[in-house]
Amino acid sequence: MSSARAKITHLRSPRSGLLGEIVRFGLAGGSVALLYLTVTTVLSQLLGVPFQLALAIGFTSGLLLHFTLQRVFVWTHTEEFALGLRHQVGRYLTMAAAQYGVTAASTAVLPGALGVAVEIVYLVTMVLVTAVGFLLMRFVIFHAESPHSAAQPPCDFSASASASASASAREPSRIVG
């Protein structure tokens, strides 16, 4: 039993690497799907809320949970995030809107153009936007601050000017002609 507990603890830690990120990403996605489905269904079927309103509330609930789980559970870092919360929210919402747009466009155009069922296009599109979303969140939205950017301020021109001067003093001059 302690071996299983140790594996779970390892998967939850930043030391678990890519495998841990993929497992946490899948768990978060499953949790969000369950919440989205539950909220939409309970509101529309049990409480009599008009379906489109229930759908919007379920979608918004899912989006909020998804962002939160991505930030605090999936992308665990020992370092700080490179971006502040406001920038993460902006990039995340841009990504979510793009995913929705790609899904809507592909399911509207590709079934007729390719002669396949909408569900096939939807499933393939979901696999692609999920994979791209994983990469965007890993490298563009919830990435850790790089060790180089933490060690030196980004606008320290005096350090780069002196490094440049000493590098040119060590390099022989080249004649281009």
Name 152's Cβ contacts closer than 8 Å, sequence gap at least 6.
159
Site of tokens 């995340």: 92
State yes or no: pLDDT of 154 exceeds 70. Answer: no
Q: What is the pLDDT of residues 48-88, one digit of tens each?
A: 999 999 999 999 999 999 999 999 999 987 678 999 999 99
Of the chain, the percentage scoring pLDDT greater than 90 comes to: 64
Q: What is the pLDDT of residues 114-149, one digit of tens each?
A: 999 999 999 999 999 999 999 999 999 999 887 654
pLDDT at 118: 92
> CA–CA separation, 99 vs 141, rounded Å?
15
pTM score over 0.85: no
> CA–CA separation, 84 vs 96, rounded Å?
18
> CA–CA separation, 150 vs 8, rounded Å?
31
Is the CB of residue 71 less than 8 Å from the CB of residue 88? yes
Q: Partners of 144 in the beta sheet?
A: 81
When pLDDT is cut at 50, 70 and 90, the band that residue 4 belongs to is confident
pLDDT at 6: 81
Q: What is the mean pLDDT of the chain?
A: 83
Q: Which residue has the higher pLDDT, 13 or 156?
A: 13
Mean pLDDT, residues 157-166:
41
Site of tokens 């269904």: 41
Mean pLDDT, residues 82-100:
95
pLDDT at 9: 78
pLDDT at 11: 76
Is the CB of residue 137 less than 8 Å from the CB of residue 70? yes
Of the chain, the percentage scoring pLDDT greater than 70 comes to: 81
